[in-house]
Amino acid sequence: MLIEARPISDAELGTLITALQRELREVGGGLEFTYEDGAQHLVGVVDGRAVACGALQTLDAQSGAIKRMYVRPAFRGRGIARQMLAALEEMALDAGYVVLRLDAGVYLPAALALLRSAGYGRTQANGFEKRILVAA
């Protein structure tokens, strides 16, 4: 899989985000999200087709948030989400972040399993957090 940066105006990224919103509405009882200004977006491409996405949003000088992670259903179970998560973590390290946070609904068991296996722990605010860089 090729993972590349894309602007929020990218048509293929827009299609993936629309599919993500549709799925969240179906499984999450109408959950919607808004676009955050300044988020950096990645798209995963398999055989020339955009099949996954994710974004990194700055929270403050030392922390970021993972947003809009999605893999098309036909491409799930191939390790694509794990690769996307690793790419977003690498981007966060390059930005100098110490902590990464994200929200994941309890209605997404595969996402929860991925986060746990990647070292993310639950927060009190119903989200997940991972220290990605040990401060010296």
The pTM for the full model equals 0.89
Domain 2-131 has CATH 3.40.630.30: yes
Strand 63-71 and strand 99-103: the pairing is parallel
Q: Which residues pair with 99 in a beta bridge?
A: 63, 131
**Alpha carbons 14 and 21: distance in angstroms, whole number:** 11
What is the residue extent of each domain of the chain? Answer: 2-131
pLDDT score recorded for residue 126:
65
**Alpha carbons 10 and 5: distance in angstroms, whole number:** 10
Per-10-residue mean pLDDT of the chain, 136 residues long, equals 96 95 77 69 97 95 92 96 97 94 78 91 82 65
pLDDT score recorded for residue 3:
98
pLDDT score recorded for residue 29:
58
For 131-136, the CB contacts below 8 A with 24+ separation are: 131/98, 131/99, 132/89, 132/92, 132/93, 132/97, 132/98, 132/99, 132/100, 133/93, 133/96, 133/97, 133/98, 135/98
**Alpha carbons 107 and 13: distance in angstroms, whole number:** 24
pLDDT score recorded for residue 35:
58
Strands across the sheet with 40-46, in order?
A: 2-6, 40-46, 49-60, 63-71, 99-103, 127-131, 121-122
Q: Residue 62, SS3?
A: coil
